[in-house]
Structure 1
Amino acid sequence: MLEGQHRPTVPSGNFSALLHRAQRLDAQSLLRIREREDRPAQAFLTTPFEALLAIDVPPALPLEQGVIGVGDLLAGRLVQRQAQWPGALPPSEGFSLLDEVPGEVVAQLAEDGRTLARAHSGPLGVPPSLLDQTVLNVEGREVPMRVIFACDVYGLIPPAASSAPRQVRVSAAGRWLRVDTVVASAYFSRGLPLL
């Protein structure tokens, strides 16, 4: 990708919706592309929750490997920002499925978390102790509230009225945790803080 190079408009769909939501929630959100053999390229997005979101790049938007600002992409600019990327990407393979969790359970955990956040947040925002609190234990792996919040506020769990599947698959590889939904995936590693 060339500095300042222009690309076509981002196609509509889950990819576009996730980018627009990311831009609204964090104006400094970054996107990193990882190419894969025989599969669509994967886009990783930073979040304020120290979790990465991942979604397949639409074939109509052929992006090359690199780091760009989400706002830049939505504005049609591809300005390289490699030096700003906060940490490592999760492994591309080696994840083992731990269990499937009903989307209703994740949605309820998010609602409970929002109630606690409203009651205990101060000038600096949500307390880190709330974000780091384990709210789900899947086959011995702890899922903290920050991952649930990321899935919730970025729209990874379809609404109850939707006909889309709401099941959430939780997988692990080493220190990395992956939560897959029909919309996108969330990755988190407690031992490898991203921000």
Structure 2
Amino acid sequence: MLIQPWDAGLDDSEWQTWIADGHDFGLLSVNGLPGQSPTVVPTHFTSDGNDLLVHLARPNPVWQTIECDPNVTFTVIGDYAFVPGPWRAKPDTPPTDGVPTSYYAAVQFTCQAHIVDEPEAKAELLRRQMAHFQPAGDHAPVAVDEPPYGRMLPGIRGLRLAVTDVRAKFKYDDHKPVEHRTAVADHLTERAEGLDLPAARQQLRRVNRVGPWKS
């Protein structure tokens, strides 16, 4: 993805905090076999140190491709909003001359995929995911020899994605004047549709950190 200097993550803690703040669903992209298109799979994920953990159904078409080429990309997108042209018009121009844009946050992981097939290793992967998604522990034990999960383990395969590179983008008009960005955040808060409110929060957070853009 294209990352302009003013859209780039400010430091690693910025994207790490954003991911930890409930952004745990993304798109796994794997290269296609010769003559085939790439395959993209939407899925939840959890983190284990620097690795991402995923499990998918055994019939999923990604497995043959990953076995041939383990280089994959995992992309997480959120806090997006459409910003209409009049909100971005310069003060000395008609509102209709404003050019619309999209706001969003995105974190893209380049990874080496390692397939997890051994039953106990798959159970441990699921336990880590359940600890994240159901921390109250209101579920049956995830064990190889106990129902219901034991009999379901053969139907899935796990993926441990070893992250080799991270690219983060926070596209919220940081190159525009502070007054402009604050006014757009106000518009988003007033409209309050879809993900307008979290987009406004991201924009104001960046305003507070970046201030006036300096190249």
Same fold (TM over 0.5): no
More helix by share: 2
User: So what's the TM-score if we normalise by structure 2?
Assistant: 0.27
Give 1 or 2 for the bigger CA radius of gyration. 2
User: So what's the TM-score if we normalise by structure 1?
Assistant: 0.29
